[in-house]
Structure 1
Amino acid sequence: MELTEAFAVQDAIAERVAGAIEPELLKTESLPAVGRNSGNATAWDLVRQGTWHFHHVGRQTHLRGRELFRLACKLDPELAEAHLWLGRVSAGIVAYGWSDKPAQDIREGLDAALKAVRLDEKNPYSHYALAICSIYANAQEQAVLAAERAIEISPSFALGHLAMGMGQLFRGSASEAIAPLEHGLMLNRYDPQNFVWFNVLALAYLFAGQANEGLVATIEARKVGPTWRPTYETLACCYVSLGRLPEARSCVELMREMENPTGDALAPLRLRNPHWADQMADLLKKAGWQQ
């Protein structure tokens, strides 16, 4: 192997390691503040507790995480991490349908993310928080720009690539969404919320006319989150597109047995792309699903 090839391999390995380790660190309560701690240990402790709740994905854990992040913001208004995490959890609460006031909650998330960017412009997580909140505020162009900035700051930042792909898809660019989503998932195979990202990748493939690849991605989504109903909607659509109606009908039967979600994680996509919403509705109807 030539020296240039060896360096390329080293860079690829380093990128994967960075992308895989970074999210793992955030699932613990031991996120250190070395060199960046503002001096308020109590606020940092609340942020660490909040991240633990956030990564145990559920309605009550997300709501508890938001309480902790809100308190951290009050205790230390200059702690960027408190604000960026408030932005992230607000987007999650809205996306999963756990919000009683989605417009108000996503506004709170956007305000928190913007403050995080002002406080720590070089933190890629601040820009990711802005990107994911922008997606659920139906500001897809802002989401793409924020994701681009996160990637500029940290090229191996998995969430930056994933938000880029989601923003591209939600604004109507299915083909452009595939590469960043694939790259982000390659960097971070173990995120507990990968059932969302694999499902978004599957939809990008489906709307780009690659139903077989969409099926593969949806099966991966089901492995991570086997009880999330939107995955089975996408799976049924892929099966119908491939002419596999018996499998599609099986997905519909499973959907009927699952709890009806209180929110629609794909609402911004449907709003911006009604032709895709109609396409999915037609495919699901062929599978035997009646709204």
Structure 2
Amino acid sequence: MEISIPPEQASPGVLRVRMFGPLCVMRNEASVDLPPSRKVRALLAYLALAAHPVSRSRLCELLGDVPNDPRGELRWCLSKLRAVLDEPGRNRLTARGELISLDLGDCRADALQVEMAMRSGLAALDRVTVEELCALILGEFLEGLDLNRSPQLDQWVAAQRRRYRSFHAALLERMVELLPEHPHILRPHAERWAEISPFEARAQRLLLKTLLGCGMPGEAEHHFAAVVRLFEGEGIDPAEIRQAWRELRKPTVAAAALPTGARQSDNADRAESSQIDRAASAGRASLAVMPFFQIGDQDGQSRLTHGLTHDIITRLAKLRNLFIIASGSVFTLAEQGIAPAEAATRLNVDYYASGTLRHVEGLSQVSVELVETATARIVWSEEFETVRDETFLVLDDIGDRIVASIASEIEMAERNRAILKPPNSLNAWEAYHRGLWHMYRFTKTDNDRAQQFFRQASETDPTFARAYSGLSFTHWQNAFQHWQDRERETALAFETAGRSLMADEHDPAAHWAMGRALWLRQRPDQAVAELERAVDLSPNFALGHYALSFVQSQSGDPSAAIASSDHSRSLSPFDPLLFGMLGARAMAHVRLRQFDEAADWAVKAAARPNAHIIILAIAAHCLVLAGRVDEAKTFVALIRQTIPGYRSADFLETFRFDTDAEMLFRKAGAHLELPG
């Protein structure tokens, strides 16, 4: 297989297209002046890598924000590309009706050469070929090219960068396998592998070993400390790195020869990895997201499925409540043809997710399964569908829903498992989930039990941020529901939220707890800022979006509250706090004086099986404002069965309504015969 032609051997007139690093086109070894337009440059790469001709309408969508004549801009872009790529008697850019294609078959295009090699499989590549391929990847794909007004093209570029970065890491790993067992020879490749895949434990372990083998213990120790800080900063347990460092520092290990590569030491590494992974994930449930598979694609791995897999792994890691296996490990196992179930067993994870992408009659269908590794039980499965012309939006829309669903289903499974264990046998993770089980029942007794388990979890592991955020939630409930002294419980909610932030300021749940505590302290602007920080850290954190809706529905932007409510429900359609998401939307509609809509949403909230008294009170007030007084009185009767002396004043004191909203709800309360 021909991989590259050195410049001095290139035939006259050969065209070279370099997509790694800044985009560059060369003819006769001289650089061709490229149009300054970033859209034209991105379009060149998009067409070069497209497996099939692309429709004009699709290209117009990719170009983004064009107010008047998108096809006119496309024609302009294509004319600029023809000037760069076409030659007399050779039209590389062709248009056949609605379809546009770019043929670089007679050119030297670095990204296409890497594509061809990777399709043949890593095992088929010899050392010389791997060296040539690594030499082609001189930098990031389309380095420095960002298109602020073309979000779909920007998204495509970002997905390709992740994909080629994984290719580069795989090539470097293959290089390490093929090189002699000498630390000085391995070191530059180990350094590059660790740079490309900083969270790949095998790469970091190899670099530490080569540094020690090169007689550089000081540099090795400094690198070890930096890697531990890096892992901890991203919420990744560094236990595997610590264990590897301890083993490497043993004299018998430090003096041993370096392994030829992961394949030759596969059995030993697998046993070690199994023990390390179990230790690293002791505090949290562990998950491997195996590469998604495209049905109908020649090798099953399209650019879209690669990008989708990477995005799901990254977004789940940002939630910081699960131990997530790095993408390098799962892609390496997939490249060896190992099935997801076997890969999960080798990785020793509690759960694994896998999925497929299929194109059918103008639609793209994504099917996903979440499986419990030990029992092979399917915990959750779903199929998502989108119009094929909008497939690139999968990474944002369907990807969000997959991430939120996986996180929610694992949390539910862990709660159910924890409730079956004796309380005195629970570790911090299990005590936390036992607390969640009680917390989501929304009764005073269960809230007290939840508080005990969260306190147990925080005492068992004082660095466990989510234990403190759960504890803050129970104090928040005591204040919100008037179960205990509101002022004291507000102070405790704020204090424990602060402890959660000190334990892990990158955990979105810590900022969520602090945002809610600030709302209790009547600081809505600060609360919104804290909650926005939570969703910035993890856009898939459904409770963060719900809390934003809750605060905005009372005194902020009611339209924003509706949008946040809808987004939280799309991320977690079966959330235990679904009644709150619906209730927040109802209150926002009241402030917009859309009383019929408010009543409809409030009734839906009250219909949830775990809806508490305050949700019933929201429904009663909204129904009155919509003129449905008789229905409202049925909710008043239900309220009085639980709290006979409940007053409209109690309802108003619970929330932080602005003046207009308070007037509306006070007027409704007067019709309910709830003495205020």
TM tier, smaller: 0.7 to 0.9
Q: Does structure 1 conserve the Cα–Cα contact (< 8 Å) formed by 2:605 and 2:611?
A: no
Q: CA RMSD in A?
A: 2.9
Task: Give the partner amino acid of 2:544.
Answer: G
TM-score scaled to structure 2, two decimals? 0.38
- Partner in structure 2 of residue 203 of structure 1: 587
Give the distance between the partners of 1:22 and 1:265, measured in 2 at CA: 34
Task: Give the partner amino acid of 1:79.
Answer: F
**Could you say if the C-alpha distance between residues 43 and 256 of structure 1 is closer, same or farther in structure 2, counting changes exceeding 3 Å?**
closer
Give the distance between the partners of 1:30 and 1:246, measured in 2 at CA: 40
**Could you say if the C-alpha distance between residues 14 and 281 of structure 1 is closer, same or farther in structure 2, counting changes exceeding 3 Å?**
same
The within-5 A match list for 1:84-163 is 84-99=469-484, 101-163=485-547
- Partner in structure 1 of residue 623 of structure 2: 239
The within-5 A match list for 1:245-264 is 245-260=629-644
Bigger drift between 158-167 and 231-240 goes to 231-240
Deviations for 1:41-66, whole angstroms, at most 9, x for unmatched residues?
Answer: 83333223222222233211111111
- Partner in structure 1 of residue 653 of structure 2: 267
Give the distance between the partners of 2:591 and 2:608, measured in 1 at CA: 22
Q: Secondary structure at the match of 1:114?
A: helix
Q: How far 1:31 sits from its partner (Å)?
A: 10
The within-5 A match list for 1:5-24 is 5-24=390-409
1:46 is the counterpart of 2:431: yes
Q: Does structure 2 conserve the Cα–Cα contact (< 8 Å) formed by 1:122 and 1:153?
A: yes
- Partner in structure 2 of residue 38 of structure 1: none
- Partner in structure 2 of residue 75 of structure 1: 460
Residue number among 565, 568, 573 corresponding to 1:184 in the alignment: 568
Give the distance between the partners of 2:441 and 2:435, measured in 1 at CA: 10
Q: Does structure 1 conserve the Cα–Cα contact (< 8 Å) formed by 2:554 and 2:661?
A: no
Bigger drift between 58-67 and 2-11 goes to 2-11
Task: Give the partner amino acid of 2:427.
Answer: T
Deviations for 1:118-163, whole angstroms, at most 9, x for unmatched residues?
Answer: 2212211111111222222222122111111111111121111111
Q: How far 1:78 sits from its partner (Å)?
A: 2.1
Q: How far 1:94 sits from its partner (Å)?
A: 2.0
Task: Give the partner amino acid of 2:475.
Answer: S
**Could you say if the C-alpha distance between residues 241 and 54 of structure 1 is closer, same or farther in structure 2, counting changes exceeding 3 Å?**
closer
Q: Secondary structure at the match of 1:285?
A: helix
Task: Give the partner amino acid of 2:613.
Answer: R
- Partner in structure 2 of residue 218 of structure 1: 602
Residue number among 256, 266, 283 corresponding to 2:668 in the alignment: 283
Q: How far 1:268 sits from its partner (Å)?
A: 5.5
1:193 is the counterpart of 2:577: yes
**Could you say if the C-alpha distance between residues 223 and 8 of structure 1 is closer, same or farther in structure 2, counting changes exceeding 3 Å?**
same
Q: Does structure 1 conserve the Cα–Cα contact (< 8 Å) formed by 2:518 and 2:524?
A: yes
Q: Does structure 2 conserve the Cα–Cα contact (< 8 Å) formed by 1:174 and 1:208?
A: yes
**Could you say if the C-alpha distance between residues 20 and 223 of structure 1 is closer, same or farther in structure 2, counting changes exceeding 3 Å?**
farther
Larger radius of gyration: 2
Q: How far 1:259 sits from its partner (Å)?
A: 2.5
Q: Secondary structure at the match of 2:627?
A: coil
The within-5 A match list for 1:20-39 is 20-29=405-414
Gaps of 5+ in 1: 33-40
Q: Does structure 1 conserve the Cα–Cα contact (< 8 Å) formed by 2:439 and 2:474?
A: yes
Which structure is higher in strand share?
2
Deviations for 1:18-44, whole angstroms, at most 9, x for unmatched residues?
Answer: 223423433344699xxxxxxxx8333
Bigger drift between 188-197 and 251-260 goes to 251-260
- Partner in structure 2 of residue 37 of structure 1: none
Task: Give the partner amino acid of 1:235.
Answer: A
**Could you say if the C-alpha distance between residues 183 and 227 of structure 1 is closer, same or farther in structure 2, counting changes exceeding 3 Å?**
closer
**Could you say if the C-alpha distance between residues 189 and 71 of structure 1 is closer, same or farther in structure 2, counting changes exceeding 3 Å?**
same
Q: Secondary structure at the match of 1:185?
A: helix
Give the distance between the partners of 1:254 and 1:123, measured in 2 at CA: 39
Bigger drift between 127-136 and 145-154 goes to 127-136
Deviations for 1:162-221, whole angstroms, at most 9, x for unmatched residues?
Answer: 111112223343233211112112221212232223212111111111112212211211
**Could you say if the C-alpha distance between residues 110 and 7 of structure 1 is closer, same or farther in structure 2, counting changes exceeding 3 Å?**
same
Q: Does structure 1 conserve the Cα–Cα contact (< 8 Å) formed by 2:579 and 2:611?
A: no
Bigger drift between 59-68 and 173-182 goes to 173-182
Give the distance between the partners of 1:136 and 1:224, measured in 2 at CA: 25
Task: Give the partner amino acid of 2:671.
Answer: K
Task: Give the partner amino acid of 2:593.
Answer: G
**Could you say if the C-alpha distance between residues 285 and 31 of structure 1 is closer, same or farther in structure 2, counting changes exceeding 3 Å?**
closer
Equivalent pairs counted in the alignment come to 281
Task: Give the partner amino acid of 2:565.
Answer: L
Give the distance between the partners of 1:244 and 1:197, measured in 2 at CA: 22
Q: Does structure 2 conserve the Cα–Cα contact (< 8 Å) formed by 1:43 and 1:72?
A: yes
Q: Secondary structure at the match of 1:282?
A: helix
Q: How far 1:4 sits from its partner (Å)?
A: 6.0
Give the distance between the partners of 2:471 and 2:637, measured in 1 at CA: 37
**Could you say if the C-alpha distance between residues 252 and 108 of structure 1 is closer, same or farther in structure 2, counting changes exceeding 3 Å?**
closer
TM-score scaled to structure 1, two decimals? 0.83
Q: Does structure 2 conserve the Cα–Cα contact (< 8 Å) formed by 1:252 and 1:287?
A: yes
Q: Does structure 2 conserve the Cα–Cα contact (< 8 Å) formed by 1:94 and 1:105?
A: yes
Residue number among 60, 64, 67 corresponding to 2:449 in the alignment: 64
Q: Does structure 2 conserve the Cα–Cα contact (< 8 Å) formed by 1:141 and 1:171?
A: no
Task: Give the partner amino acid of 1:89.
Answer: T
Give the distance between the partners of 1:42 and 1:227, measured in 2 at CA: 30
Give the distance between the partners of 1:210 and 1:175, measured in 2 at CA: 12
